[in-house]
């Protein structure tokens, strides 16, 4: 088994502007924690084929399962209930085994959850193009994508979803994940909605289409010559869309970039390496270090991956917050290490552990921590995070003029302060504009 698979997912040439946020990962459609399910730092995936030596070691577990299913007095008799009973025994056995590791990131995902997480990284799924939220058990539509099955069917923001394929949403589960609205492209789904302002429900039948989730969004910041580029996840499409955003910045005559990694829970390590490579030349040094040895201290350098064009030299500010995690922490830490960008915002999440994904035949998957990754200076990220060069807090982000984090970034760019060395020089001479680091 190759413990370090750095193959890049196929790049897809597509992009989206900041005005088309309806399929962004920031929506509530997935209703999952990025760091916990789809986010993190992933080194690769493979299909698990079994291991006879491992099976032999857990012979007592199989024996206990056999005894319970054949002898437990309250075991179900109905065949369907029996299958559910056995499945629940398996799930609880797996849960108990993984809980003993005391590692929140080594986890088993049921087929439905594994599908959602995989689609987050792939950036495409079969669906109807809505964003949902669940509040006190009520599932409502918060956003409808233009030119999607939902928009053409007349579904609007504020509509309440009552049933999906004749099943009450209450029976589908508290965390919907949108799975029941997903399915193969071309398949049908019937949803029953209570339209906003109406007293009667209506049934709407739709054919699922390919819904593309764009991980990158960009726009010129109003009143400036700077472009804001926001990356939600380091997935299959991220590098291609980032290339498109940078090209548009240069075409529009942008004089600086604000790279917004707030809320980014991570993704594929290769995508992070490629993102660093859009701003730093590979000859500068490694993108990060990986330590997969059980003895610790055997860290291996992983390279920066450049694109076909030279890295952009536009001044750069990176925005981070408490939900900036894993692969996005690698990007922020590396860009700062090479004096390429000033990092401003909150202390980041602090996830440096790396998971490999094992897919099972029934559609479930297992994420197992296989290594820990470090910044180019071999600084530890796990539990420590990245401390920004300039500390801002959520309380600072209440400006009536707009996003105060972005406003702070533009102020630094205006003053010519876009690198750690620029900040040090500014602090030694004149006050830094807009925001200052904690003493």
Asked if pLDDT for residue 349 goes beyond 90, the answer is yes
Which of 336, 351, 425 is CA-nearest to residue 388? Answer: 336
| Strand-pair category, 226-231 with 256-260 | parallel
Asked if pLDDT for residue 397 goes beyond 80, the answer is no
In this prediction, residues 11-17 reach a mean pLDDT of 35
pLDDT recorded at residue 40 = 62
307 vs 126, more confident:
307
Nearest-angstrom CA–CA distance, 254 and 344? 20
Domain architecture of the chain: domains with CATH? 34-43+214-429 (3.90.226.10), 124-212 (2.30.42.10)
Query: Distances in Å between the alpha carbon of 324 and those of 206, 399, 404?
Result: 37, 22, 17
pLDDT recorded at residue 401 = 59
Residue 274 binned pLDDT confidence (cut-offs 50, 70, 90)? very high
Helices 269-277 and 238-251, axial angle in degrees (round to 10): 20
18 vs 269, more confident:
269
Residue 298 binned pLDDT confidence (cut-offs 50, 70, 90)? confident
pLDDT recorded at residue 35 = 43
Identify whether the C-beta of residue 275 lies closer than 8 Å to the C-beta of residue 257: no
Q: What percent of the chain has pLDDT over 90?
A: 57
In this prediction, residues 171-189 reach a mean pLDDT of 68
Which of 424, 23, 421, 367 is CA-nearest to residue 213? Answer: 23
Least confident of 117-121, 223-227, 232-236, 355-359: 117-121
Tokens 């024996």 map to which residue?
A: 63
In this prediction, residues 132-158 reach a mean pLDDT of 87
Identify whether the C-beta of residue 354 lies closer than 8 Å to the C-beta of residue 373: yes
Identify whether the C-beta of residue 182 lies closer than 8 Å to the C-beta of residue 172: no
Report how far Cα 404 is from the mean position of its chain's Cα atoms.
Answer: 24
User: Where are the alpha helices (H) located in 135-191, listed in sequence order?
Assistant: 149-152, 169-172
pLDDT recorded at residue 427 = 82
Residue 335 binned pLDDT confidence (cut-offs 50, 70, 90)? very high
Q: Order of strands across the sheet with 390-391?
A: 216-220, 226-231, 256-260, 316-320, 342-345, 390-391
Q: Express each pLDDT in 72-123 by its tens digit.
A: 999 999 999 999 999 899 989 999 999 999 999 999 998 878 887 888 788 8
Residue 265 binned pLDDT confidence (cut-offs 50, 70, 90)? very high
Rounded to 5 degrees, φ, ψ at 93 are -65, -45
Q: What percent of the chain has pLDDT over 70?
A: 79
Q: Express each pLDDT in 402-430 by its tens digit.
A: 799 999 999 999 999 999 999 998 887 75
Q: Express each pLDDT in 369-390 by its tens digit.
A: 999 999 999 999 999 999 999 9
Degrees, nearest 5: CA angle 258-269-290: 115
Cα of first residue to Cα of last residue in the chain, in angstroms, is 48
365 vs 401, more confident:
365
Strands (E), 272-326: 286-291, 300-303, 316-320
The SS3 of residue 211 is strand
Report how far Cα 123 is from the mean position of its chain's Cα atoms.
Answer: 10
Residue 130 binned pLDDT confidence (cut-offs 50, 70, 90)? confident
Measured on CA atoms in the order 246, 143, 124, 318, is the torsion positive or negative? Answer: positive
Nearest-angstrom CA–CA distance, 419 and 429? 16
Identify whether the C-beta of residue 372 lies closer than 8 Å to the C-beta of residue 291: yes
The chain-wide mean pLDDT, for the chain, equals 83
Asked if pLDDT for residue 436 goes beyond 90, the answer is no
């Amino acid at each position: 088994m190759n413990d370090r698979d750095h193959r890049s997912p196929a790049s897809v040439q597509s992009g989206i502007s900041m005005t088309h946020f309806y399929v962004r990962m920031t929506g509530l459609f997935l209703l999952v924690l990025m760091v916990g399910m789809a986010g993190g730092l992933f080194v690769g995936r493979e299909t698990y084929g079994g291991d006879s030596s491992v099976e032999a070691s857990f012979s007592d577990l199989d024996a206990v399962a056999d005894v319970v299913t054949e002898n437990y007095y309250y075991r179900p008799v109905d065949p369907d209930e029996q299958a559910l009973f056995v499945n629940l025994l398996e799930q609880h056995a797996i849960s108990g085994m993984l809980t003993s590791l005391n590692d929140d990131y080594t986890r088993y995902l049921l087929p439905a959850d594994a599908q959602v997480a995989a689609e987050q990284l792939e950036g495409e799924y079969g669906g109807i193009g809505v964003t949902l939220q669940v509040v006190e058990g009520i599932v409502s539509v918060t956003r409808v994508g233009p030119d999607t099955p939902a928009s053409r069917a007349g579904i609007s923001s504020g509509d309440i979803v009552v049933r999906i394929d004749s099943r009450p949403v209450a029976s589908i589960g508290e965390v919907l994940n949108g799975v029941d609205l997903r399915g193969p492209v071309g398949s049908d789904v019937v949803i029953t909605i209570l339209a906003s302002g109406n007293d009667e429900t209506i049934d709407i039948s739709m054919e699922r289409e390919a819904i593309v989730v764009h991980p990158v969004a960009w726009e010129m910041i109003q009143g400036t010559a700077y472009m804001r580029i926001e990356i939600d996840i380091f997935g299959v499409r991220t590098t291609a869309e980032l290339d498109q955003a940078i090209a548009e910045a240069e075409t529009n005559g942008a004089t600086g970039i604000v790279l917004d990694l707030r809320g980014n829970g991570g993704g594929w390590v290769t995508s992070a390496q490629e993102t660093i490579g859009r701003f730093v030349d590979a000859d500068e040094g490694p993108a990060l270090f990986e330590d997969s040895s059980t003895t610790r201290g055997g860290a291996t350098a992983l390279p920066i991956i450049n694109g076909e064009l030279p890295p952009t030299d536009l001044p750069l500010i990176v925005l981070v917050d408490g939900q900036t995690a894993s692969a996005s922490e690698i990007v922020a830490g590396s860009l700062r290490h090479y004096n390429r960008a000033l990092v401003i915002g909150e202390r980041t999440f602090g996830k440096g552990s790396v998971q490999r994904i094992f897919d099972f035949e029934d559609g479930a998957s297992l994420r197992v921590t296989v290594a820990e990754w470090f910044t180019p200076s071999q600084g530890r990220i796990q539990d420590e995070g990245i401390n920004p060069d300039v500390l801002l807090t959520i309380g600072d982000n209440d400006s009536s003029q707009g996003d105060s984090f972005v406003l702070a970034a533009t102020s630094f760019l205006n003053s010519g302060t876009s690198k750690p060395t620029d900040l040090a020089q500014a602090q030694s001479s004149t006050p830094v504009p807009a925001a200052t680091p904690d003493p």
